[in-house]
């Protein structure tokens, strides 16, 4: 008896789900709907990190992956059909700036030919491999705290006005890092450096390259973290990585001797172009450099990566990495 009741209940639930979608198109022709069976939802962001003041476009894509035509009825107010959950890095749900008002009017099913002008929904037919996309600008609806990561999951309601219980979850979850603007980060780090009485990354690069121009190698080397900086040079990186602790000191001494030989030519001119702070303790300094090899001048773009030490040497930045590009 209980088994019979179970089958009856399942039959009722299945029938309600099937009836949730209009079984006739705009011409009144009877059709089947395969949304739940052969559709997938994908979310996309344009970047992995955004700054305050930037637009944050989230693309919500519905794709028909099957062989039959899929019919969806997205609402003109996208918040009905395209709903999202935003969580921070602590798995807390972010509340929208203004919660959407979802009224519950008396709903009328489309079972006859009707004039769709002024209707709250638009009927869209997706054939095999066709997609429908909607872009949502998250910065308009959420207030993000800086220096945090956020994760987004999407839920698509194929016909929200007629069935609020039928939805599809996005196959992926996208995330991004939200930061203050570069200028705000730069001012914040500058204040921190001033309070700690340390030098800025820009000042360190001036001292670092100035010492090279004057051949004052002891002052040049004091700013380098050789355990990481040496890995930027292919000639030494493999040997250093494979060596044991005792051998690494010898390799570093050979590396220092190599740097004093100015293998790329004598440094004649440099200019700091920009300073960027990916985080509070990291900095990237872009430098324009001119070197002379005999009578030939070569122009470079150097990008130094620096990191601020912790503990007793707070405010002291060390050079961790170097990326070199030849300028034409």
Read off the pLDDT of residues 212-227 as tens digits, 9 standing for 90 and up.
999 999 999 999 999 9
Structural domain contains residue 42: yes
140-168 residues labelled b (16+ CB within 10 A) or e (exposed): ebbebeeeeebebbbebbbbbbbbeebbb
The reply to whether 220 and 162 lie within a common domain is no
The reply to whether 99 and 141 lie within a common domain is yes
The reply to whether 156 and 286 lie within a common domain is no
State the CATH number of the domain containing residue 79.
2.60.40.2970
pLDDT over 70 (residue 23): no
Contact 201, 275 (CB under 8 A): yes
Contact 88, 150 (CB under 8 A): yes
Q: Which residue has the tokens 């293998």?
A: 263
List the alpha helices (DSSP H) in 1-147. 2-18, 35-38, 78-81
Structural domain contains residue 214: yes
State the CATH number of the domain containing residue 261.
3.10.450.100
Contact 292, 266 (CB under 8 A): yes
Beta-ladder partners of 133: 61
pLDDT over 80 (residue 240): yes
- Greatest alpha-carbon span in the chain: 99
The reply to whether 42 and 151 lie within a common domain is yes
Contact 270, 327 (CB under 8 A): no
The reply to whether 131 and 252 lie within a common domain is no
Structure tokens at 295: 């009578």
Q: Phi and psi for 153 in degrees, rounded to 5?
A: -120, 140
Domain that includes residue 109, residue range:
24-179
Choose one of 179, 211, 241: the last residue of a domain: 179
Nearest to 156 by CA among 73, 86, 97, 45: 73
- Rounded to two decimals, the pTM is 0.49
Based on the structure, what is the number of domains in the chain?
2
Q: What is the pLDDT of residues 291-305, one digit of tens each?
A: 998 888 999 999 999
* pLDDT band per the 50, 70, 90 thresholds, residue 79: confident
The reply to whether 31 and 175 lie within a common domain is yes
Q: What is the pLDDT of residues 35-69, one digit of tens each?
A: 777 889 999 999 998 988 889 999 999 999 888 88
The reply to whether 282 and 157 lie within a common domain is no
The reply to whether 137 and 266 lie within a common domain is no
The reply to whether 146 and 274 lie within a common domain is no
Average confidence score pLDDT of the chain: 80
Q: Tell me, what's the pLDDT at 287? A: 95
């Amino acid at each position: 008896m209980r088994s019979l009741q179970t089958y009856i209940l399942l039959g009722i639930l299945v029938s309600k789900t099937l009836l949730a979608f209009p079984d006739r198109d705009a011409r009144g022709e009877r059709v089947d709907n395969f949304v739940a069976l052969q559709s997938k939802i994908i979310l996309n962001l344009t970047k992995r990190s955004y700054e305050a003041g930037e637009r944050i476009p989230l693309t919500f894509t519905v794709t028909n992956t099957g062989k039959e035509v899929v019919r969806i009825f997205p609402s003109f107010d996208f918040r009905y059909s395209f709903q999202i959950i935003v969580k921070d890095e602590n798995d807390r749900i972010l509340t929208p700036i203004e919660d959407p008002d979802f009224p519950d009017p008396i709903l009328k099913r489309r079972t006859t030919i009707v004039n769709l002008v002024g209707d709250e929904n638009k009927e869209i037919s997706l054939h095999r491999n066709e997609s429908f996309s909607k872009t949502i600008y998250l910065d308009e609806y959420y207030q993000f705290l800086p220096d945090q990561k956020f994760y987004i999951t999407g839920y698509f309601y194929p016909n929200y006005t007629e069935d609020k219980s039928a939805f599809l979850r996005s196959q992926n979850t996208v995330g991004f890092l939200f930061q203050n603007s570069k200028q705000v980060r730069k001012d914040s780090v500058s204040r921190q450096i001033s309070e700690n009485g340390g030098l800025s990354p820009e000042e360190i690069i001036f001292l670092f390259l100035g010492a090279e121009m004057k051949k004052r190698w002891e002052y040049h080397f004091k700013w380098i973290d050789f355990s990481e900086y040496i890995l930027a040079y292919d000639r030494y990186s493999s040997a250093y990585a494979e060596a044991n602790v005792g051998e690494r000191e010898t390799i570093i001494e050979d590396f220092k001797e190599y740097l004093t030989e100015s293998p790329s030519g004598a440094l004649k001119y440099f200019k700091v172009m920009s300073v960027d702070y990916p985080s509070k303790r990291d900095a990237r300094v872009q430098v324009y450099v001119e070197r002379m090899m005999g009578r030939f001048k070569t122009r470079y773009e150097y990008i130094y990566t620096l990191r601020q030490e912790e503990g007793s040497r707070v405010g002291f930045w060390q050079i961790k990495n170097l990326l070199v590009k030849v300028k034409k």
